[in-house]
């Protein structure tokens, strides 16, 4: 797999360095750096299209803000890439309208905008699936009876935060790991924005935190804090149109944190729930509560 990287700023360099250090150096056929000082609105994008564009399978564009992202369709065309990953780490980075414009200009390739990069999962696309064998939504294997003895990273965030979390939760009690995973992500530090993204109703840094905690919860087989919907109280969409589902930031970002059963009642996946409490305020029937106790996860 040949990868061409477009990068800008600290976020871009950190990911380039981590991807290269973890075995993808031989796959990187080129890196094009873009200044962070470029104007948000660009009249003539042709001026910014690099002269040397290598043939590649996958383009990863990291950290470019505003109109400069319009170089992506032309680069995809010239490189012959069949897949493009454009991670979003800041709500101002590529507004929804610009994303649609880029999508409409990319004629022959699959393009995805994971928000954030550590939410990327296999999608049935040859190159995304190869990339996510190593990088994307974190997955861990954890051993230990009462304390964490060993943590193996099965899939790590492209920025390297999962490896940092894995190294730094060894030795702590299992019951503290879920919360410590969130703290360690902040310490790393996660470079995703702390501004609320209007498209999801939460910050992208929080979304990254939910993914880090989900990896720990899934590996341990239990969650210690989650929204829970009372099946007796939930009206199953009658006079509420499943407002909880529409409000959940994880659902808006493409996950199944809240899902609807055949009987139309809503349920929460405690592994994925970030306990942000947004759905609690939306349910007109008060059917949702935050549980702070050990919730076993279904296999």
DSSP secondary structure string for all residues of 9-63: HHHHHHHHHHHIIIIIGGGEEEEEE--TTS-SS-S-GGGGS-S-----SEEEEES
Rounded CA separation 98/111 (Å): 13
CB of 34 to ligand SF4, least distance (A): 34
Letters for 10-49 (x = contact with ligand SF4 by CB under 6 A, - = none) are ----------------------------------------
206 touches ligand SF4 by CB under 6 A: no
- The partner residues of 259 in beta bridges, in order of sequence, read 267
CB of 82 to ligand SF4, least distance (A): 34
CB of 56 to ligand SF4, least distance (A): 36
The strand pair at 110-112 and 139-143 is best described as: unpaired
244 in helix, strand or coil? helix
Cβ–Cβ contacts within 10 Å for residue 112, how many?
16
254 touches ligand SF4 by CB under 6 A: no
Question: 136: Cβ–Cβ under 8 A, 6 or more apart, which residues?
Answer: 114, 117, 118, 119, 120, 121, 122, 155, 157, 158
Peptide bond into 29 cis (omega under 30): no
234 touches ligand SF4 by CB under 6 A: yes
The residue among 169 and 283 lying less far from ligand SF4, judged by its C-beta, is 283
CB of 265 to ligand SF4, least distance (A): 6
The residue among 59 and 229 lying less far from ligand SF4, judged by its C-beta, is 229
273 touches ligand SF4 by CB under 6 A: yes
The answer to whether 134 and 27 have CB atoms below 8 angstroms apart is no
The residue among 81 and 244 lying less far from ligand SF4, judged by its C-beta, is 244
The answer to whether 62 and 15 have CB atoms below 8 angstroms apart is yes
The residue among 129 and 289 lying less far from ligand SF4, judged by its C-beta, is 289
The answer to whether 134 and 24 have CB atoms below 8 angstroms apart is yes
For residue 258, give both structure tokens. Answer: 């809240």
Write out the binding residues for ligand SF4, residues 145-184 only, by CB under 6 A: none
CB of 255 to ligand SF4, least distance (A): 9
CB of 189 to ligand SF4, least distance (A): 22
227 touches ligand SF4 by CB under 6 A: yes
70 touches ligand SF4 by CB under 6 A: no
Q: What residues line the site for ligand SF4 (CB under 6 A)? A: 227, 229, 234-237, 240, 242-244, 247-248, 250, 257-258, 266, 268, 273-279, 283, 285, 287-288
């Amino acid at each position: 797999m040949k990868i061409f990287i477009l990068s800008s700023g600290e976020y871009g360099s950190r990911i380039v360095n981590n991807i290269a250090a973890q075995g993808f150096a031989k796959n990187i056929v080129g890196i094009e750096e873009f200044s962070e000082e470029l104007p948000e609105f660009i009249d003539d994008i042709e001026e910014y299209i690099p002269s040397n564009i290598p043939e590649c399978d996958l383009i990863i564009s990291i950290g470019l803000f505003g109109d400069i992202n319009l170089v992506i369709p032309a680069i995809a065309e010239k490189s012959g890439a069949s897949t493009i990953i454009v991670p979003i780490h800041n709500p101002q980075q590529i507004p929804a309208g610009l994303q649609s414009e880029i999508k409409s200009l990319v004629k022959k390739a699959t393009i995805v905008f994971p928000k954030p990069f550590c939410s990327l999962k296999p999608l049935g696309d040859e190159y995304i699936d190869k990339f996510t064998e190593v990088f994307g939504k974190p997955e861990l294997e954890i051993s230990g009876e009462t304390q964490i003895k060993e943590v193996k990273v099965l899939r790590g965030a492209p920025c390297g935060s999962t490896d940092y979390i894995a190294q730094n939760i060894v030795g702590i009690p299992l019951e503290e790991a879920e919360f410590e995973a969130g703290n360690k992500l902040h310490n790393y530090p996660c470079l995703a924005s702390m501004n609320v993204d209007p498209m999801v109703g939460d910050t992208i840094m929080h979304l990254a935190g939910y993914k880090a905690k989900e990896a720990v919860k899934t590996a341990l087989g239990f969650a210690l804090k989650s929204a829970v919907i009372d099946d007796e109280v939930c009206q199953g969409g009658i006079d509420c149109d499943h407002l909880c589902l529409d409000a959940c930031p994880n659902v808006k970002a493409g996950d199944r944190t809240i899902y609807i059963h055949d009987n139309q009642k809503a349920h929460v996946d405690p592994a994925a729930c970030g306990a942000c409490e947004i759905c609690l305020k939306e349910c007109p029937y008060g059917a949702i509560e935050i549980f702070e106790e050990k919730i076993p996860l279904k296999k």
